[in-house]
Amino acid sequence: MSTFVSEVDEEERNEAPFERREVVIKKGEDLKAFYKLHDELGRGKFGVVYKCTEIQSGKELAAKFIRTQRKEDRIDVQREVDIMTKLQHPRLLQLYDAFDDGSKEMVLILELIRGGELFERVIDDDFVLTEKACTIFLRQICEGLAYMHYVALVLHLDLKPENILCLTKTGNRIKIIDFGLARFYDPTKKLQVLFGTPEFVAPEVVNFDQVGPRTDMWSVGVITYVLLSGLSPFMGDSDAETMANVTKCKWDFEDESFDKVSDEAKDFVSQCLVKDRTKRLDTKEALNHRWLATKEAKTESALDKKKLKRFVIKRRWQKLFYTYIFLRRMGATMTFDDPPK
C-alpha cells in the first residue's frame, strides 16, 4: 500500500510526550536504578542512543550516552541540557532526565522517537514523495526553528537529514533532534563557530564569520535541495573540497532532476542558499514564502527518488565507516545491539 502524506492534524501537531520538566543533571546516581536499557536506536559522532524504559512508570524513552573523556565534554553536555530545557516545543525533541555518575559517559534521557530518520522514511518504496509532502515536512522544520530562533534564542547549527526524525512510521509529524552543537545566541553579541557537517554548513561557518539564525536556514536550503532532487549541492570528493564549494556558493538547478520541480520550490531554495547571511530567508519569511504558506495548488505528482535513495545509502555507508574507524581507534569491537553493561 502506498503512503501519501496529508496535512498534520492540529491536535496531533501539538501533542506533548510528557509534562514540561525542569531537568537537573542527577550526579552520582545510578542510571540503572531508574531505567532499564534495551536495543540500540542509532549512533552519531558523540555517542550511542538506546531505547529504555523508566522502571517506576513503564514509560518508553531513549537514552543517549555521550562520551565525556575531557573536561570540556562535560561542559558541552551541560550546555546541551541547558538548551534542551529551554526548548519546549512539539517540533523539537524533549529532554526527560540526565545523569552524570562521574564516569567517562554522561546520559541524556530523551523522548522516544519511533519513526526513524525522515530521509529513510521517504526513500521507502511505499512512500510517495511529492512536493506537497516536502512542504509539509519543511513547514514543520521551519516552525521548530522559528521557536528556537525567536522564543528560545537558540541556534541549532547542525541541521542535516539525520537530525530530522519522524514521530511514527506512518504519520507526518517530524521532530528536530540533536542539540549537541546548538548555542544560545545574543543578537547584540558576535558568535562564531567552527564545526558542523561540511555538506550542510553555511559559508559563514566555513569562513569563521559571524553566525545567526539565518545560518540554520542555509542548512534548510541544502536539505530541501537534496529532498527535491537527491543531489547534494556542494558535495566534493573530500571535506576540504566540499567546504571550498560552499564558500564559492556555486550551485544550480541544471540537473534533469529539477525539470519537474515547481518555480516556487526553486525560489524557496534560491532564497536560502544565499552567500550573504543577512539576505537569506529567516524562519518567519520562510513560513510566509508562497511555497510553504499556500496549502493548495502543490504539485501532487511523485518526484523521482532514485538519486535520493543513492544519497541515503551512501550516507549510511559513510556513517558505518566512520563508526568503524572510531571504534578501531578506541580499541573496541563493533557491536550494534548490546546496551552498556
Question: CA geometry: angle at 19 spanning 68 and 91, to 5°?
Answer: 70
199 contributes a contact to ligand ATP by CB under 6 A:
no
91 contributes a contact to ligand ATP by CB under 6 A:
no
Residue nearest to ligand ATP (CB): 44
Binding segment (CB under 6 A) for ligand ATP, from list 109-117, 209-217, 272-280, 298-306: 109-117
Binding segment (CB under 6 A) for ligand ATP, from list 22-30, 108-116, 146-154, 299-307: 108-116
Cβ of residue 148: shortest distance to ligand ATP, in angstroms? Answer: 16
The residue annotated as part of the active site, out of 158, 178, 216, 282, is 158
Q: Which of 31, 49, 146, 182 binds ligand ATP (CB under 6 A)?
A: 49
Cβ of residue 279: shortest distance to ligand ATP, in angstroms? Answer: 28
110 contributes a contact to ligand ATP by CB under 6 A:
yes
Cβ of residue 77: shortest distance to ligand ATP, in angstroms? Answer: 10
**Backbone dihedral angles phi then psi of residue 283, each to the nearest 5 degrees:** -65, -40
Q: Which of 44, 161, 196, 198 binds ligand ATP (CB under 6 A)?
A: 44
Binding segment (CB under 6 A) for ligand ATP, from list 42-50, 127-135, 201-209, 309-317: 42-50
The span from the CA of 211 to the CA of 202, in Å, is 9
112 contributes a contact to ligand ATP by CB under 6 A:
yes
Q: DSSP code of 3? A: B
Q: Which is nearer to ligand ATP, 297 or 320 (CB)?
A: 320
By CB under 6 A, the residues from 113 to 132 that bind ligand ATP are 113, 117
The span from the CA of 107 to the CA of 29, in Å, is 11
The residues pairing with 154 across neighbouring beta strands, listed in sequence order, are 184
CA 326 to centroid of chain Cα atoms:
22
79 contributes a contact to ligand ATP by CB under 6 A:
no
Could you tell me if residue 210 is left (phi over 0), alpha (psi between -120 and 50 degrees) or otherwise beta? beta
- How many residues bind ligand ATP (CB under 6 A)? The answer is 21
Site string for ligand ATP, 151-180 (x = CB under 6 A): -----------xx-------------xx-x
Contact status, residue 191 vs residue 210, Cβ threshold 8 Å? yes
The span from the CA of 177 to the CA of 165, in Å, is 7
CA 129 to centroid of chain Cα atoms:
19
Q: Is 64 annotated as a binding residue?
A: yes
- Identify the CA nearest to 188 among candidates 218, 219, 212, 220: 212
Cβ of residue 253: shortest distance to ligand ATP, in angstroms? Answer: 28
Q: Which is nearer to ligand ATP, 288 or 318 (CB)?
A: 318
Longest dimension (CA), the chain: 58
Q: Which of 13, 26, 36, 45 binds ligand ATP (CB under 6 A)?
A: 45
The span from the CA of 217 to the CA of 263, in Å, is 19
Query: How many CB atoms lie under 10 A from the CB of residue 279?
Result: 9
Is 158 a residue of the active site? yes
Q: Which of 5, 52, 64, 166 binds ligand ATP (CB under 6 A)?
A: 64
Three-state SS string across 115-160, please?
CCEHHHHHHCCCECCEHHHHHHHHHHHHHHHHHHHHHHCEECCCCC
Burial class (CB in 10 A: 0-12, 13-18, 19+), 188: exposed
Q: What is the DSSP string of 165-204?
A: EESSSSS--EEE---TT-EE--TTS------S-GGG--HH
Could you give the residue numbers annotated as active site?
A: 158
| Binding interface with ligand ATP (CB under 6 A) | 41-47, 49, 62, 64, 93, 110-113, 117, 162-163, 177-178, 180
Output the known binding site.
Answer: 64
